A and B are shown apart, each in its own frame.
Chain A
C-alpha cells in the first residue's frame, strides 16, 4: 500500500444512461463489435435493436417457418458475439456481415433438404412470365401477399436469397453482393430470374384458384 502513489485525478464522470446510449450510437461498427465480443451489453443492444427486424424477416422469408426463423436469428447473434472479429468494415457493412452469417446458418440447415421446387426457366417460359394478365388484378390483397410469401419460399435458394435481400429487405445490389459473397452482376441476374419464376408461380396460382 505504501507503494501506491496518486499521480493525477483525471476527471469526474456522472453516470448517465441516456448519454451512454447516445455515445454508443456514435461508435463505428468495428468498435461496437469489439465491445460485444468483450460482453458489453449496451453495444450489443444497439446492434441488436437496429438489425433484429431485418435479420428475422430474412430468416423468415428464406425458411417460411416462424420457429426456424427465430432459431436462426438467435444463432446469428450468438455467432456475432463469438466471432465478431471476422467483421472487416473495409469489406462491407455490418448489415451485410449479419445477413451473411444468417445465410450461412440457413444454408447449413437446408443443406440436406431437397429443394422445394427446382423449377427453372426456359426462354419461352421467361417470355410467358413477363407477359399476360397481371395476377394482382385477380386476387385480394391478403390472398396475394400470402401467395407471394409462399412462392418466395418455394424458389431455389440462390433466387430466394436475392429476392429476400433486394426486394423484401430493400438492400442495394452492392450490399446484397457482400452478404451473398458474389459479384453484383450475379445478384442482378439471380434477382431477375427469381422475379420471373415468382411471376410464373403467381400466374399458375391465379389460373387454378381464381
Chain B
C-alpha cells in the first residue's frame, strides 16, 4: 500500500513502534489461563478417575510406579507432551476428544511418552475421567493413553 501519511503521523508511528505492554500483564493473563485450564480439566476428568487410572497404570508399568498425588497432574512437561501428542499423533477423524490429564503423577520427570491404544469398557472410561454419558458401561471403547517412561498413564483420550 502506498504510504500517503503526513510525515508527522509517520513520525509518531515510528516513535511508538517499540512501545509494549508491561510483562506483569502477561503474568496476570497466564494466571487466569491456568485457572481456566484447571476448571476445564476438572470438568472433563472428574475425581473418580483416579481409581481406574491407577489400575491401568499398574497394569502397563514395567515396574511398580511411585505415585505422588501431591504433584501437579497438569505440569508443564505433561502439557508439552499432550500438545505434541495431539499434533503428532496420526490424524484420525474418529478421534473425538483431546487428551485429558489423569490425576496420576510420578516423582520421575516426564522425559518421553508413548501413545498406547487400548480397548476398555465404557464404564471404566467414565471412571477414568472422560465424560461418557452416551457410552454404555458395557460397550467396548477404544482409547489412547499417554504413558510416561515410568509406565504411568498421564493422559487419556477417546477414539470413537
Chain A positions within 8 Å of B, measured between CB atoms, are 1, 3-17, 19-20, 23-24, 36, 38-42, 44-45, 48, 52-53, 55-57, 60-61, 69-70, 73-74, 77-78, 81, 134-136, 141, 144-145, 148-149, 152, 163, 167-170, 172-173, 195, 198-199, 202
Contacts and interface: CB of A to CB of B under 8 A. Distances in A.
A14 B146 CA distance: 12
B32 A78 contact: yes
B119 interface: yes
A44 B119 CA distance: 33
30 contacts: A1-B59, A3-B121, A4-B56, A5-B120, A6-B118, A8-B117, A10-B89, A10-B114, A11-B90, A12-B112, A13-B85, A13-B112, A15-B113, A38-B98, A39-B33, A39-B38, A41-B30, A41-B34, A42-B79, A42-B80, A44-B33, A45-B30, A52-B26, A78-B29, A145-B11, A145-B15, A148-B11, A167-B13, A172-B1, A173-B1
Contacts of A10: 89-90, 114-117, 144
B83 interface: yes
Given A52-B21, A60-B19, A136-B8, A8 B56 contact: no
B79 A9 contact: no
B80 A57 contact: no
Contacts of B77: 15
Q: How large is the interface on B (under 10, 10 to 19, 20 to 34, 35 or more residues)?
A: 35 or more
B110 interface: yes
A16 B38 CA distance: 23
Given A10-B90, A81-B32, A81-B33, A148 B110 contact: no
A206 to B, nearest CB: 11
B12 A148 contact: yes
Given A4-B118, A39-B41, A56-B21, 8 more contacts: A11-B114, A15-B77, A17-B80, A23-B88, A42-B80, A53-B19, A135-B8, A198-B9
Contacts of A81: 29, 32-33, 36
B25 A195 contact: no
A61 B88 contact: no
Contact of B84 (A19, A69, A77, A173): A19
Given A41-B33, A52-B20, A3 B120 contact: yes
A20 B77 CA distance: 11
Contact of A168 (B6, B12, B89, B115): B12
Contact of A13 (B11, B113, B118): B113
A145 B12 CA distance: 5
Given A38-B98, A70-B21, A78-B29, A13 B115 contact: yes
Contacts of B84: 13, 15-16, 19-20, 23
B12 to A, nearest CB: 5
A105 to B, nearest CB: 14
Q: Which of B29, B56, B81 has the most CB of A within 10 A?
A: B29
A12 B114 contact: yes
A20 B88 CA distance: 10
Q: Which of A19, A41, A57, A195 has the most CB of B within 10 A?
A: A41
A167 B21 contact: no
